[in-house]
Each structure stands twice: as C-alpha cells, then as structure tokens.
Amino acid sequence: MNGIPISHILFVSTALFFIGMYGMFTRRNMITMLMAIELILNSVNINFVVFNKYLWPGKMDGIFFTIFIITIAAAEAAVAIAIIINLYRSHKSIDVEDAAEMKY
Amino acid sequence: MNYSSYIALIPLLPLAGFVLLGLFGKKYFKTFSGTIGIFLLLASTVLALYTAYQYFFINGKVNDVYQSIIPVKYTWLQFSSGTSIDMGIILDPISVMMMVVVTFVSLMVHIFSLGYMKSEERFGTYYSFLSLFTFSMLGLVVASNIFQIYIFWELVGVSSYLLIGFYYDRPSAVAASKKAFVVTRFADLGFLIGILILAFEGGTLDFNTLIQRLTDTQSSQFISITTASFLGVSVLTWALTLVFIGGAGKSAMFPLHIWLPDAMEGPTPVSALIHAATMVVAGVYLVARLFPVFSINESSLHIVTWVGMFSALLAAIIACTQTDIKRVLAFSTMSQIGYMMFALGVAHKNGETGLGYTASMFHLFTHAFFKSLLFLCAGAIIHLVHSNEMQDMGGLRKFMPVTHLTFLIACLAIAGIPPFAGFFSKEEILLATYHANKIVYVIALFTSGLTAFYMFRLYFSIFWNKPKELHGHPHEGTFSMKFPLIILATGTMVAGFIPFGHYVSSDGKILETPFHLNFSIAPVLFALTGILLALWMYKKESNRPHRVASALGGLYHSAYKKFYMDEIYLFITKKIIFNLVGRPANWIDKNIVDGTMNGIAYSTAKISGWIKGIQSGKVQGYALYFFSGIILLVIVVLYLWK
Amino acid sequence: MWNDYLQLMKSEWMVIIVIFILLFLKLGKKERNTESLLHFINVLLFINLASGFIYHRDGSLFGDMFHSNSLLAFEKNVLSLGTLIISMQSFHWLKNHKHILEFYILLLSTLLGMFFMLSSNNLLMFYLGLELSTIPLAALANFDLEKRVSSEAAMKLILSSAFSSGLLLFGISMLYGSTGTLNYLELSQQLTGTPLQILSFVMFAAGFGFKISAVPFHLWTADVYEGSPVAVTSYLSVISKGAILFVFVSVLYQVFHHMALAWYNLIFIISVLTMTIGNLFALRQQNMKRFLAFSSISQVGFILIGITGQSAAGSASVIYFVLIYVFSNLGAFGVVSLVSALTGKETVNDYKGFYKNNRVLSWVLAISLFSLAGIPPTAGFFGKFFLLLAGAGTTHQSGGQINYLLIVIAALNMVISLYYYLRIIRAMFMDSTEQPIEKIKSSFSPNLSFIICIAGILITGIASGAYNYIYSLVK
Amino acid sequence: MNLNLLLLIPILTATAVLFCKGLKQVRTVSFLGSALQLALSFILMYYYWQERTAGNNAAFLFEDNFTWFAPLHINYHIGVDGISIAMILLTSFVVFAGILVSWKMEQLSKEFFFLLLFLSVGAYGFFISLDLFTLFFFLELAVIPKFLLIGIWGSGKKEYSAMKLALMLMGGSALVFVGLAGLFFNTNTGDGSHTFDILQIAQMHIPVAVQKLFFPFVFIGFGIFGALFPFHTWVPDGHSSAPTAASMFLAGISMKLGGYGCLRVATYLMPDAAQQYSTIIIVLSCIAILYGAFATMMQTDLKYINAYSSVSHCGFVLLGIGMLTRTAITGAVMQMVSHGLMTALFFACIGMIYDRTHTRQMSQLGGLLKIMPFVSTVFVIAGLCSLGLPGFSGFVAEVTVFMGSWEHKEAFYKISTIIACASIVVTAVYILRAVGKAIMGPLAKTEYGLLKDAAWNERVAAGLLIIGIVAIGVAPFWLNQLVGPGAESIMNNISNAAVIK
C-alpha cells in the first residue's frame, strides 16, 4: 500500500468527486442524483483517509471524520428518500424536471 | 438743523392709512374710509409743506448751498460692515420738492375720488391702495439709501399693479396690470444689477457716501470703477445705464413704455396719480438723485438724452392718432417725461451748465399740476359720458363749465403758452438743450408743436365739435370732484412764476434763470401753429381729420398702432420666451430629468426581468450555478483580484 | 467533571430535556386538546429561553471540541427567543395539524444542532451540528404532507443541502490535508493562504453561503421558502440563517484571520452580488413568502458588509443585526403566517386594502418592513447603519478606499429594497380593492408574539443597551 | 432651556393622539400640542437672546450631550445656534398652521395627525442635532411619514408620487450616509478614535483629499432634499399629490432639511471641498433657479406652479451656500425661512381653494376674489412674497443672497448672480399669471358663487404665516442678527481652512 503514491489516490478521489458532480448535473432521476451526492461524499471520505494516512498519521482525525460522514450520509439519504417517496405520491414521478413548479 | 423725527410721519401716515383701511376698511369704515384716507394724507401734506418751508427758507442752506440732510436713519438690514440697507429720510432740494408734489397731488386725487368712486363696492380697498401708493412714492423720494429706493420702487410697482387691476373682473384690466408690473419688473432687473455694481464698487449703499466716493476723482473707488471695464465699456457706464434702464421702465421710456397706455384700465384718478406725481416720475427722480454720478459719465448721459428725446417724439406722434382720451394723455405724459429726461441728459454738474437739471425738475414740478389736472378732468368727463372714446364726446362745454375751463388751462399749460406753468419750464428745457445740443433742440421744438396739436385736438373734440346724445341729465360731478380741479388749475397758473433755480440746482447753489424774450418766440410760435391746426381740424365736425389721416397713410396707421410695439413684445414673449424657453424647459423636465429617474426605475425592473431565468425552478440548474459560482470565485480570488 | 458537562452544556441540555418531554408526551394518549398542548409547549420554550439567561460559565469540553462563553450564550438565547416567537406565531397553523409533537421535536432537534454548531471548536463538531440542523429541516419543509409544493420544496432543500455539504466537506478535507488538524485554534495558526487553502476555503465558505443563501448559492431559497409551511419558512429565514451567521463570523475572524486578504475580496464580491440579485428578484415577486425570501437574501448581503469590517465593530454589528433581524423578519412573517393560516391568502395583491379591516396587523407588518428597510426609529435603521459603518471602517489594508465603493453599492441597494418594501405598504394602506381581507381574529399567542416583535423593533435600536452589551461581549 | 423639550412635546402629543377617539379629540390634542411647541420656540428664542446679550459667545447654546452608542462614539448631542432657532421657529409655525388647515380631515384622522406630528419630530430633531448620527437619524425619520401622508391622503397619481419621493429622498440620505461614514473614519480625536460630533469635527482639519471625495456625497445627498438640479423631480410630483398639510410641510420644512444639511454638514465640516466645488454648486443652482422658473411658467395646475417655483426658490438657498460669503449664507438661511413660510402659505391657500372648488386647474378657476376675498387676498400676498416684493420676507432673503454673491470679484460670480437675478422677472410672470387667472377675472363657473370664504381655523393659519412673512419682510434685522453669528462661524471655518491648506 505504501507503494501507491498519494497523488494516485487523490486522483481517484478527485475523479470520484467530478463523477458525482456530473451525475448530479445530468441525471434526472432523484434517486440517482442522491447516489451522485453519495459519490461526492465518498470522494471526501477517501480524501480524509488518505490525508490522515499519508500526511498526518499522528492523530486519527481524518478517520473519525470519515466515519461520521458515512453515518450522516445514511441519515441524509433516509430523509431524502422519505421525501422523494412523498413527492412521488403527489407528482407520480421522481423526475426532477417534473418537480419544478416554483420558479422565477 | 433741528428736524425731529416728525418727518418720518410724512410717509408713515399714508402707511397707517393703508394698514387701517386695508384691514378694517371694508368691514368697519365702509364709506367713511375716504374721509380717513383724506385726513391722514392732509396731515401728511401739511407736514410736507412745513418741512419744505423749514428746509428752503430756514435751515436748508449752509454758505448759500443747499445741504443734504439725513434727519432719520435706521439700519434695516446689515450685510457687511460697510454695506447695509438703511431706512432713512434724506432732505435735499429735490426730495423736499417731490415730497410736496406727491402729497399735494395725492391729496387732490384722494379728494376727487371721493366723488368719482362713490358707488364703488370696494371703496375702502381703493383708498387703502391709494394710501399705499402714496406711501411708496414718499418712501421712494425720501430714500437716503440706494436700496431703500429700490424697495419703494418695487412697492410703487405693486401699488400700481393693484390699482391698475382694481377692476379685477375685467380681463383687460388684469392683463394691463400684469403687463405694467412685468415690464417694470424687467426694467427693475437692470436697476438691481446696477445697484449691485454701484454698491460693490462704492462699498456702500448710502447715497451721500456713494456719490461722494464716486465723484471724487482721487478716491480708490472712483479709479476702480472707471478703469475697470466689461465688454469694452467702463463699469461705471454699465452701472449707470442699468440704473437708467430701471428708471426708463418706471418712466415709460422707449422701448419700455408699452405698459403705459394699457395702464389706463385703472380708475381714472389713479392715472392722475401715476402720471403726475408717482410712478412715472420716479425714473426721472432716480436719474436726478444720482445726477452727480451721471454727470461725470458722458456716455450714460448721452443714453439718457437720446432715449428721452426719442421717447418724447415718438409719444407725441402716437398721441396725435389715438382716440381714447386717456391714452392720448398717457402718451402725452410719456412725451413730457421724455422732455425731463433729455433735459437731465444735457445738463452738467456746475453753474450755468446745470440748467438742464433745474429745468427738468421744474418741468416735473409744473407737469405734476397740469397733468393731474388733465387726468382729473378726463375722469370727470368719463364719469359723465361713461366712455373713454373721443367719438362719444363733443360739445361738452355746456354741461361742465368748470371742467371745461380747467381743462383749457391745463392744455394751454402743456402746450407751453405763457403765462401758464408749462411755458416756463419748457422754455428752460429748450434753453438748456439749445446750449448743449442743437439737434435735440430742434426735435424738442418740433415735439412741442406736436404737443400743442394733440392736446388741442383733444380739447376741441371733447368740448366743441358736434354735441353727442347723452342720456339722463348730464351734470358735473359733486363738489369734491370740482374742488381739486380748481385748486390744480390755480396751481397751474401760478407755478410757473416760482424762481425755481433759487431752490433746485445741480450744485445746490442759486441758479438765476433769466427770461429771454427772443428765445421764447420760437416755441410759442410752434405751439400756436399746433393749436391753430387743431382748431382747423376739430373745432367743427368735418372730414378734415380723415383726409389728413389718409394723406399721411402708412405713417398714420402705424402711429395709430403705436408703431407695433405691442405686437413685437407679444412676439418676443409669446413666441420666443414661451415657446423657445419655457416649453423646452418644461419638456426637458418632464422627459429628460424626470425621464432619467423613471428610466432608472424602469431599467431596474427590466434587468430584474432579464435575470429571472437564473431561478429556473430546477435543482440541477441550481447546483450548476452553485458549482460554477465556486469556480469563478476561486479564479477571481486567486488570480484576478489579489 | 459532571459539573462541567451540566454547566457548559446547559442550553443544550435544556433543549434535550424539552425534546424528551415531548417524546414522552408522544408515547402517551393520542387525543389531546391541541390548544392547551400548544400553550404548554410555548411555556416549555419560554422556560428554555429563560434558563438561558440564568447562568453561564466559560470553558471547553470533549478535548476542546466544544466550548462555551457568554457571547455564545447570548447567541443561543437569541435563537431560543426566535424559536419561541415562531412557535407562538404558528399557533393557528398548528392548531389544526395532526403532528404537532413531531413538528416540535424536529424543530428543537435543529435548534440543538445549531447550539452545537455555535459551540463547536472543531470542524468535526461543526459538521455534526450543521447536519443536525439541516436534515430535520428538510423533513419540516415537507410538513404539509399533502401539498405538492411542500414536497417539492423539501426535495429541493434536501438535494441542494446534501450537495452543498458535499462541497463543504470537500473543502474541509482539503483544509485538513494541508494543515493536519481540525481544531480551530490550530487551524488558524497553520493557515497561511496558499492557493490550495484558498480553494478549500472558497468551498468551505460556499457551504456557509448556501445556508445563509448568499448569491450564487441562494437559488434554493425562494422555492423552499415558498413551498414550505410559513412556520418553517420563518424558521429557515431567521433562526437557521442567524445561527450560521454567528458561526460564520467567528470562524472567519478566528480561524481564517491570516487569510483575511483572500476572504475579504471574496466576501466583497459575494456581498455585492447578494444584495443586488436579491433586490432585483425581490422587485418582481408576488407571493409574500417568496418576496420575503428574496428580501432576506438581500439582507444577507448587507450583513456580509458588516463582516468585511473585520473588527469588534464588525462582529458586534453582525450579531446585533441578527438580533434585530429576528424581531423584524418574524414580525413580518408572523402576519403573513397568520393571514395564510386563517385565509389562505399569500400574494401581494391579496393584501390590497388590508388596512381597512386589520389596522393593528397592518401596522405590525408595516413596522416590521420599515425595520427591514432600515427606517428610523426602528431598530433596523441602527442595525443597517452599524453594519455599513463597520464595513466602511475596515482596518484591513486592502479595504481602504475600496470599501467605500461597497458602501455606495449598499446604499443604492437600500433604495431599491425600500421600493419593494414600500410596495407592500402601498398595497396595504393605499390601494383599494373590492374585497379586502376580512377582519382576522387572532388569538393570544400570536398577539403576544407581535408585541414582543414590535417592542423589540422599537426598543433594541433607540435604547443603546443591546448594542453596547453585544459589543462588550465581543470585545 | 432644555432642548429635549422640543422633541418631547411633539412625541408626547403624537402618542396622545393615538389614544384619542374621534376627529374632535384628535385635532384638539394636536392643536394644543403644536401651540405649546410654538410657544416653546418663542421661549427658546427669548432665552437665546438673553444668553447672547449676557455675553455668551459660545457657537452653540443649550447643549446637551450624552453617550448613546459608546463603542461607535455615537452621542446624542444637541444644541442650537441662531440658524437652528430660525429653522425651529419656521417648523413650529408651519406645523401649527398645517394642523389648523387639516381641521376637517375626516379620513383616518388619527393616523393623519399622528404622522404629521411624527414628521415634525424628525424636523425638530434634525435642526437641533450636533452629532452626525443623531442628525442622520432624524433626517431619515422624516421620510416615511411623508410617503404615507402622500400615499394615503393624497390626490392625483399619489402612489407614484409618494413612491418617487420616498425613493429619491432615501437615495439622498443614502448618499449622505456614505459621506458621513467617510467623514467619520477620517476624524481623529487625538487618541486615535473617531467621532461624529459636529463641533469636534469642525475643529479638526479633515484632509483635503478626503473632503474632496466625500463632499459631493453629502452635498448631493442633502441637495436631493433641497431640490438640487437635476435631482428635483420629486418636488413637483410630491408636492402636488400631497394633502394640503403635507405639502406645506414638504415644501416648508422638508426641503429645508436639505439646505440646512448642506450648510451644517457639507460646508461647515468640509470647508476646503466647499471652496473647490463652489463653482459647480453655483452653476447647478443657477440652472435650478432659472430653469425652475421657466418650467413653472408652463404649468397649469396651481400646485405644480408652486412646486416648480419651490425648485426655483430653493435654488437661491443653494446659491447662497455655494457663494461662501457670510452675507450669502445668511441670505440662504433667510431664504429657507422665508420660502418655508411663504410656500406653506401658498399651499394652504391652494388647499383652501381646492377644498371648495375641487379643482386646481387655472383654466377652471377665476374671479375667486369676489366670492372668497380672504382666501384670494392671502393668495395674492403669498404670490407677492414669492415674487420678492419688498415688505415680505422673500425680498429680504433674495437681496441678501444677491448682495452676498456680488461680494466676489470674479466675473463668474457676477454673471451667475445676474442670472439668478433674472429669475425675478420670470417669477413675476408666472405668479401674476396665476393670480390673474385664478383670483381675478370674471367668475369661471356660476356654481362657485355659493362657495364660502375661509373658516376661522383657516384664517388663523393663514394669518399666522402672514405675520411671520411680514415680520421678516418689514423688520429683517432681527432675523439677520439671529442668523448672522451662525453664518459667521461657518465662514470662519471656511476662511481658516483656506489658511491651513
């Protein structure tokens, strides 16, 4: 594992970040968008772990942060999905473009 | 030199009359108003006469020179250490003379109005306005401070406005009063600027100090004002010309005379007041008051001379053609004032050369008598005939003998027939011009012939000619209307014998004005020619006037139309000022200035509309803006604006 | 030791106790008199507020992750007060609602989250508090379950906030990477303003910007405000925003003060954009809630000017303004909430001729709007004046004269904002319509809340005590 | 003399009005309150003279100073000099008259009188403030009541006018704010802290560059209040849409806030810049004077006539300030007082005419002198005052401005004075036109014959204002002496500045 330079891993996390971003911008299904956000969060997780492991191995700050992010992401997803389900009841669709009544 | 402050009562009594009658006249005094006004003014007149006596015969002279005395003076408005507006009373020959004239003529008008305005609803108001007019004029003549004169100058203007517009429900009266005020206001603008220049250069507003500084060739003020120039003309000339413009406006000199004929819309006694003693002589008085300064500046004196000359001639020509008797009288006033003006213009400071000054003041004095007499007679006639037009009159001598006689006396006086007052003063003027300027002399002579002609044209048309049908029982007015006529006629007959040069002269010393028989032949001949011509044309009803008029053709017509001056003014005000200045100003305000403000509001709303698309309602769009916002901000913060 | 936990976390404990009381109530019987229940909850909230004033102590906990001082106690009190007012104002809306207890439990959870966030001394603690204050809010936004717009609003809120917290976290992760610490104090010593740090700072600030709805991170605001129940909207616009602003000020001043050069420019730009865009959008709004959303956006722009002041005056003016903003905005939202709950009318046109039948309410709304517009003698005038003064008086070297440009822009924006506030006044007082809103029968709770708001608006300004107190705390 | 009373009485009156029931109670309370205030203004003037004759030469008297916002160095600092007293007198006259002419305000009377009194608080506070913050506070205080007064009780396109007025005035005060902030941060009380205190700032010498930067903000800001060209467009619309009392207040007092602010803040505190910018000020005010006059000539609505003429007349105020001589500044203050009284009288009169005939169009009026002699006479008096007739205040003020302006040697000043002078002719034209059309001439409509002349309240209101106008016009020396020392101290500051450089 030490053989892998930090830049490679950061490249992965950055890629993940932008993939998530891309997904967020382009997917119209709300659940997919949620997943895209999870990708972003995961890229952050990788960042934290990597920084902790490679740069600041003295303390476990990064690792802890990651664990909290994972937990909170789960909570967030739960609420989000609940909301999406409720939205589906009224809109009969989970296409994000269909839920754009309020504007301007 | 013990003038106590009773002198202040001379102007203040009429003021009291104005306040009293103005506030309570209508409600409490009613017809009693006239009596109150007359008594207050009578007191004033007596005081004025007493003052004149004191001044001329007891204590006015020091070393045979009449002094300028300032018995009363209060600081009214202090500007800076040197300049302040003071309310004071100055006593010198001309102011004392004017005080007498104003109070006396005004008293006659007051008395005359008692009968003339008897049936008028706003009797009290009328008298309060008359009092105001008298007060203003008195304040003007006694002014010791150049700004004081301006203040009362304006008050004279507004009094005339109120009186000319007295019959306010006649649109023509309203228009005339407005015209009089606006035209004189325009002239006052010149006066005001002139004052500002004089005050600035002289460092004072006080007449005596100002005159002393500006005539002393050694003083720094004199040097500065004569050497400094603007547009190639010395500042002194500018100042005096501007002051003269003010005077010309009030005195109805060409080309600011257009208000005068229209001013006849007011009650006739008011015209008497305006023409004989107050408003129109104010301009002459102003020039006389500043005469020491004028006399050191040739150019401004030339302007005075030529404007006076031209006005005198022009007015006389126009007067020959008018049919409204009051207008004829109005133009005759303008002509006579022209005489006074050019008499001043040809005068000089000292000794014999100052004859014009004395002559001018003398003429002013005598003119006050016969002109007020003429107007009051006209008032009596109009009272009887209920018309101003000559064609409605004729043969009136049977109905109104007193009026007839007094009118005749006045006509002879103004025509310059000895031994009436006008003869003496006019002869002095001609004498003065004869020595100074031959061209002026010739024109003046010709004008005096014209004067005689148009006055007797008036006289014959009214009292002789063919009698007109008059309904009812025509009879002369009440005693209160006849009494002033008689008094004034007496004055007209005797005033000429006053040795005026003993009292009023340009340098305060006695000026002998000998009578030259040889010299007076020419003017009298001219006058007689005019009278005979009038006799020939108007004594009996005939078509002679008509034939003469058509023979003169265009000249007659344009003189009848007052040389189209009104039309020119109308063109300038209506077309040029109104359309080319007022309308664009209004347009700019509505569209550009206001439009800019509205435009800002409008474009804000417009921008708000353009950018509404940002808020598309789509989450993905929001996220995109969010992310691009971050990127742009990073770029800006990192690279563009450190 | 336990003493520390009890004393330093006093406010948090109080909120937790209230939440638990409500949870126990939820376990009890189903049918209750809603009115008395609501009164009871208000009393609880009042006790919560009152306890905040009783006693406080400075200190830190959890290995310096959590700290408390008198300024924080004051800020928490402001938030508690706001919550109490909102609760009183939502009386009429909640009276007929089935899930009163859930509403309060969620609401108080977010409040708890904010308290932790305020007291955080560590980015991890901060993040936890932030999420705790955000996620329940999304659920609250959806509280009118049967309304289409409500669920749309909730969806927009949760997706946007998740997205923004992703970016925020990315920023934090890079901060961590470049400094190796999450503790504020240590961070402030490590941060020097390298490009990476600036990048991460911008992302971090964007997270804040999202919550306080600063342009260009504000786009969710209007939709969510419009769709959510009025109580939630007012909570979002006042309490949530206020809490984040408190944190933002202290984080900027404490943690990033070595990078001030960078963030000064950033805040400058954001501030100008926020004021201008907020105003331009507010101009054209017809829905009262949406209108108030944009007005609150432009208010944030003004607050950001105060932040550029970077001195005690700057942070005092921001805190002071938030206090005033609580009164003013809640006064306005209170009326809107009442009208909306009782008549269902929410657009500006509905308010035409409002003064005819509802004099007191009109004046309450008018005074609140005047305060928002910054018209004396309302507190808003003082608040805005001090914000702008703090901004103009920045001691920062890059500030100098350029900050006057900011003040000029702000001043012009104040004029624009005045226009739309006056538009509402005009509708209420001057326009007439066939059917103005009938006389609204309010009840005790909302009335009391209006009295508090108006008293607050009129007193906190002229009586200088509030500001002087805040200043002494900041100092 | 405690100056706080000047604020307290209107505030208490306004509060009392809130608790009144019905028009009768409301107006009685307002009447008493404003009468008390009027009396108080006179008492203040009496005490002021007493102090002055006792040899108290302090620039400001009856000062009261307490710390308001200590951390920001904001104090509640009040005090008066002659200029302020003149303005306070003006305000109390106008407010009193305004309440009298609104005697029959049936519609929402409580709110109306409350707002009117509240507005007066702003004006009084503004005139006695010696602290820039306090001053600004009161300045803005007086904006929104105007908006409401115009918008609710106005006529014509009232909403538009009210909005325009509020926005423009607020824009003005926003600019003022920028200037004040700029001044504040460039003051130094010696220990490195800043101050808003006018007296202290006047003692310091603010760097010239700073003055040059912020003077325009302050001057234009206040200039908007004072109808500085081209920011005067709120004036015509605002005045003409407002109800009578509000028009009186607006033109009579509110516009004076601008002039007073220009003088007290811009010129007094930034003397160097005042000198630098005087050319521009003079040019703008000359434009306002003449252009306002010509625009007035084209108006047909009586209120518009007076509103545009206010633009022209207020130009004299700014001209006097721009000229920077003692006399000119005295004249500017006199013009403020004079114009305040005169224009209030004018609006009161127009209001009376409008109440009876329900029109303000000149074409539909005429011959009113016959049926309403009192109202018409008052109208003529107001008109004559407006056109600068001696004996009324307008003349005194204008002449003082002219004299002051003419004290400069350079041709530029002379020419601008002449331009300003020229307006007296145009003024005469439009005033006489209005008088001739509306008051004189034959009766326009027969039904006007039944109209009644002024009631007692209107007579008292008009009489009071006329007394003020005549008192200045006939005996200007008292006002001159009152204002003179204040102008003197401003001039001292300016000449000192010129020395230090």
- C12-30 per-position pLDDT tens digit: 999 999 999 999 988 877 6
Q: How far does the CA of residue A10 sit from the closest CA of chain C (Å)?
A: 11
* A&C contacts, CB < 8 Å: 132
Whether A30 is in a domain gets the answer: yes
Q: B61 φ, ψ to 5°?
A: -105, 140
**Predicted pLDDT of residue C382:** 93
> D331 near D491, Cβ under 8 Å?
no
* C&D contacts, CB < 8 Å: 94
Binary contact (C202, B633; C-beta < 8 A):
yes
Q: Is the dihedral of CA D204, D210, D215, D221 positive or negative?
A: negative
Dmax over CA atoms of chain D, in Å, equals 76
Q: How far does the CA of residue D53 sit from the closest CA of chain C (Å)?
A: 37
Chain A residues touching residue B623 (CB < 8 angstroms): 24-25
Chain B residues touching residue A104 (CB < 8 angstroms): 612-613, 615, 617
Binary contact (B605, C284; C-beta < 8 A):
yes
Which is more confident, B469 or D53?
A: D53
**Predicted pLDDT of residue D501:** 46
Determine the average pLDDT of the residues in D191-199. Answer: 85
| Tens-place pLDDT, residues B345-362 | 888 776 677 788 888 888
Residues within 8 A of C (CB atoms), B 203-232 only = none
Identify the band that residue D29 occupies on the pLDDT scale cut at 50, 70 and 90.
Answer: very high
Compute CA distances D115 → D3, D262, D356, whole Å.
Answer: 22, 26, 25
| Tens-place pLDDT, residues B169-180 | 888 888 888 888
In whole angstroms, what is the distance from residue B188 CA to residue B249 CA? 7
Chain A residues touching residue B624 (CB < 8 angstroms): 25
**Predicted pLDDT of residue B262:** 83
**Predicted pLDDT of residue C372:** 93
Nearest to B76 among D167, D425, D476 (CB): D476
Chain D residues touching residue C375 (CB < 8 angstroms): 140-141, 143-144
Query: What's the DSSP call for residue C435?
Result: S
Q: Which of B45-59, C447-461, D308-322 has the lowest mean pLDDT?
A: B45-59
For the whole model, what pTM was predicted? 0.91
Check whether B473 has a pLDDT greater than 70.
no
Chain C residues touching residue B615 (CB < 8 angstroms): 219, 222-223, 281
Chain D residues touching residue B174 (CB < 8 angstroms): 436, 440-441
Chain B residues touching residue D440 (CB < 8 angstroms): 165, 168-169, 174
In whole angstroms, what is the distance from residue D489 CA to residue D242 CA? 37
Chain A residues touching residue B617 (CB < 8 angstroms): 100-104
In whole angstroms, what is the distance from residue D336 CA to residue D126 CA? 15
**Predicted pLDDT of residue A67:** 94
Q: Do chains D and A touch (3 or more CB pairs under 8 A)?
A: no
> C301 near C271, Cβ under 8 Å?
yes
Binary contact (C419, D152; C-beta < 8 A):
no
**Predicted pLDDT of residue B1:** 43
Determine the average pLDDT of the residues in B557-571. Answer: 77
**Predicted pLDDT of residue B351:** 64
- Asked if omega into B545 is within 30° of 0 (cis), the reply is no
Picking from C141, C267, C280, C277, the residue whose alpha carbon sits closest to that of residue C209 is: C267
Binary contact (C158, A61; C-beta < 8 A):
no
* Closest chain A residue to the Cα of C224, Cα to Cα: A102
Identify the band that residue D449 occupies on the pLDDT scale cut at 50, 70 and 90.
Answer: confident
| Tens-place pLDDT, residues C86-140 | 999 989 888 888 888 999 999 999 999 999 999 999 999 999 999 999 999 999 9
Chain B residues touching residue C261 (CB < 8 angstroms): 642
Binary contact (C155, A51; C-beta < 8 A):
no
Nearest to B617 among A21, A28, A102 (CB): A102
Q: Which of A96-100, B30-34, B98-102, C32-36 has the lowest mean pLDDT?
A: B30-34
Coil, strand, or helix at residue A35?
helix
- Chains contacting C with at least 3 CB pairs below 8 Å? A, B, D
Which is more confident, C339 or B459?
A: C339
In whole angstroms, what is the distance from residue B60 CA to residue C150 CA? 104
- Count how many residues are written for chain B: 642
Compute CA distances D290 → B427, D175, D285, D317, whole Å.
Answer: 48, 26, 9, 13
| Tens-place pLDDT, residues B213-230 | 888 877 777 777 777 777
> B343 near B367, Cβ under 8 Å?
no
Q: C60 φ, ψ to 5°?
A: -135, 160
For chain C, what is the mean pLDDT? Answer: 89
Compute CA distances B466 → B379, B389, B472, B536, B550, whole Å.
Answer: 21, 14, 18, 14, 22
Binary contact (B617, C223; C-beta < 8 A):
yes
- Which domain does A23 fall in, by range? 6-91
Binary contact (B617, A104; C-beta < 8 A):
yes
Nearest to B616 among A21, A26, A103 (CB): A103
Q: Per-residue DSSP letters for B24-35?
A: HIIIIITTHHHH
Residues within 8 A of C (CB atoms), D 179-198 only = 181-182, 184-185, 194
Determine the average pLDDT of the residues in D115-142. Answer: 92
Nearest to A87 among C152, C165, C169 (CB): C152
Picking from C464, C203, C217, C412, the residue whose alpha carbon sits closest to that of residue C302 is: C412
Nearest to D68 among C401, C431, C464 (CB): C464
Q: Which of B152-166, B543-557, D3-17 has the lowest mean pLDDT?
A: B543-557
| Tens-place pLDDT, residues A12-29 | 999 999 999 999 999 989
Whether A66 is in a domain gets the answer: yes
Binary contact (C152, A102; C-beta < 8 A):
yes
Residues within 8 A of C (CB atoms), A 76-95 only = 76, 79-80, 82-84, 86-87, 89-91
| Tens-place pLDDT, residues B515-540 | 777 777 888 888 888 888 877 877 77
Q: C287 φ, ψ to 5°?
A: -80, 130
Chain D residues touching residue C475 (CB < 8 angstroms): 71
Picking from B248, B58, B59, B82, the residue whose alpha carbon sits closest to that of residue B153 is: B248
Which is more confident, B513 or C449?
A: C449
**Predicted pLDDT of residue C1:** 66
Chain B residues touching residue D476 (CB < 8 angstroms): 76-77
Dmax over CA atoms of chain B, in Å, equals 117
The domain segmentation of chain C, as residue ranges, is 2-474
Residues within 8 A of C (CB atoms), B 604-623 only = 604-605, 607-609, 611-612, 614-615, 617, 619, 621-623
Q: How far does the CA of residue D76 sit from the closest CA of chain C (Å)?
A: 11
Domain count, chain A: 1
Binary contact (B174, D441; C-beta < 8 A):
yes
* B&C contacts, CB < 8 Å: 81
CATH code for position A39: 1.10.287.3510
**Predicted pLDDT of residue D367:** 80
Q: How far does the CA of residue D11 sit from the closest CA of chain B (Å)?
A: 35
Identify the band that residue C259 occupies on the pLDDT scale cut at 50, 70 and 90.
Answer: confident
Determine the average pLDDT of the residues in C273-282. Answer: 92
Chain C residues touching residue D147 (CB < 8 angstroms): 422, 425
Binary contact (C430, D178; C-beta < 8 A):
no
- Count how many residues are written for chain C: 475
Report the DSSP pairing between strands B61-62 and B65-66: antiparallel
The domain segmentation of chain D, as residue ranges, is 1-176+231-258, 277-495
What are residue D66's DSSP bridge partners?
D76
The yes/no answer to whether this complex scores an ipTM above 0.85 is: yes
| Tens-place pLDDT, residues C40-72 | 999 999 999 998 888 778 888 888 889 988 899
Q: How far does the CA of residue C460 sit from the closest CA of chain D (Å)?
A: 12
Identify the band that residue A81 occupies on the pLDDT scale cut at 50, 70 and 90.
Answer: very high
Q: Which class for B637: exposed (0-12), middle (13-18), buried (19 or more C-beta within 10 A)?
A: buried
Determine the average pLDDT of the residues in A71-100. Answer: 90
Check whether B312 has a pLDDT greater than 70.
yes
**Predicted pLDDT of residue C396:** 58
Picking from B502, B533, B322, B522, the residue whose alpha carbon sits closest to that of residue B416 is: B522
Is C269 near chain B, with CB under 8 Å? yes
Report the DSSP pairing between strands C59-61 and C66-68: antiparallel
